[in-house]
Amino acid sequence: MKISKVFLVTLATLGSAMLAGCSQKESASTKKVEELTIVQMQDENNPNAGEKNEGFRKDMEKSLGIKINEAEGMEYSVGIEAMKSGKIDVLLVTPMSYWQAKEVANAEPLVTTTSMGSTPYKTVFIVGKKDTKTKSLEDLKGKSFAFVDQASSSGYMYPKSTLINQLKLESDKLESPGYFFKNVAFSGKHDSSIMGVVKGDYDAAAVAAQIIPQLVQAGMIKEGDIRQIAETEEIPNAAFIVRSDLPKETKKKLKEFYLNYENKEYFKTFYGSESVRFTEAKDSDYESTKKMLEALNIKGE
């Protein structure tokens, strides 16, 4: 499953240092960690979120044998700065904030999550069933086109960067009428883009691949109403990152805890499916995000 909501972190005062009982001369590899501060998944609209987070914290505390503190907050940049200063040990970041955390806080990837089902999360470029001539991104030249929203990774950022990189287009001109597309619209929702193509309001659109079968199942469109002509690279899930200067043994135990966590109700609460699990995160998982940010000339945030 893809995390569609942007989960932000805001930090209040976090108390004393997280690594107690150590002299300043001791290296990170020999420090005795007595406490850790983590930032968990937040969901203000879910009444079970607090209970599940507390259960997760207690499970981690029992597994690691140390005190686990929990922090909450608002902005990713604040959380990343807090990790840099040693006040946070484990932080949840979006793919766009991942590289910022590595650059600013020298963070290391810890875990991410598996997707629901076997289909990777991607954006697809679609056209209507009557359009039999459009078969590639190049063929979209001169067509009317719909993105979803400028704040959407799957509905705008990833497909735009794909167009820029593959067709060698200029980022700041892509939405200009007549530059490549006849005109560009922002539909506001993935299903609106799909329905717009089906009805002929747009010649083509970029939408999250998972939305299409949902509309088919709901009876809103039929199989064959639209045709996919291209797709983006896989879009990664959010990641939990860890302070790089924590002792190796502590980081190892943290990763083992996440990878072996099997509370189905926890995953159902925060990810919408009991089948989701934590999986190891690697820098390579977020290379597509780096290319996207570079293509759009924006910084991770």
So where are the chain's domains? 35-116+236-295, 123-231
Please say whether the beta carbons of 242 and 113 come within 8 A. no
Judged against a pLDDT cut of 90, whether residue 242 lies above it is answered with yes
Two domains, one topology: 35-116+236-295 and 123-231? yes
* Strands 183-186 vs 144-147: parallel, antiparallel or unpaired: parallel
Question: How far, in Å, CA of 301 to CA of 299, rounded?
Answer: 6
Host H or E run for residue 145: strand 144-147
Radius of gyration of the chain (CA): 22
Taking alpha carbons only, the member of 230, 77, 51, 70 closest to residue 140 is 230
Of 9-18, 131-140, 257-266, the least confident: 9-18
Closest CA to 190 of 139, 148, 246, 230: 148
Q: What is the pLDDT of residues 119-159, one digit of tens each?
A: 678 999 999 999 999 999 999 999 999 999 998 999 999 99
The confidence band for 41, taking pLDDT boundaries of 50, 70 and 90, is low
Q: Is 35-116+236-295 in CATH node 3.40.1280.10?
A: no
In the predicted model, is pLDDT for residue 103 greater than 60? yes
pLDDT at 204: 99
How far, in Å, CA of 122 to CA of 178, rounded?
27
Torsion over CA of 158, 162, 168 and 169, rounded to 10 degrees? -50
pLDDT confidence tier of residue 43, bands split at 50, 70 and 90: low
Q: Say whether domain 123-231 belongs to CATH 3.40.50.150.
A: no
Cα–Cα distance, 197 to 240 (Å, whole number): 37
pLDDT score of 144: 98
H helix runs in the chain, sequence order? 49-64, 76-84, 95-105, 158-167, 190-199, 211-217, 248-259, 264-271, 287-295
Residue 5 has pLDDT above 60, yes or no: no
What per-residue confidence (pLDDT) applies to 273? 86
Paired strand residues for 207: 124
Predicted TM-score (pTM) of the model is 0.76
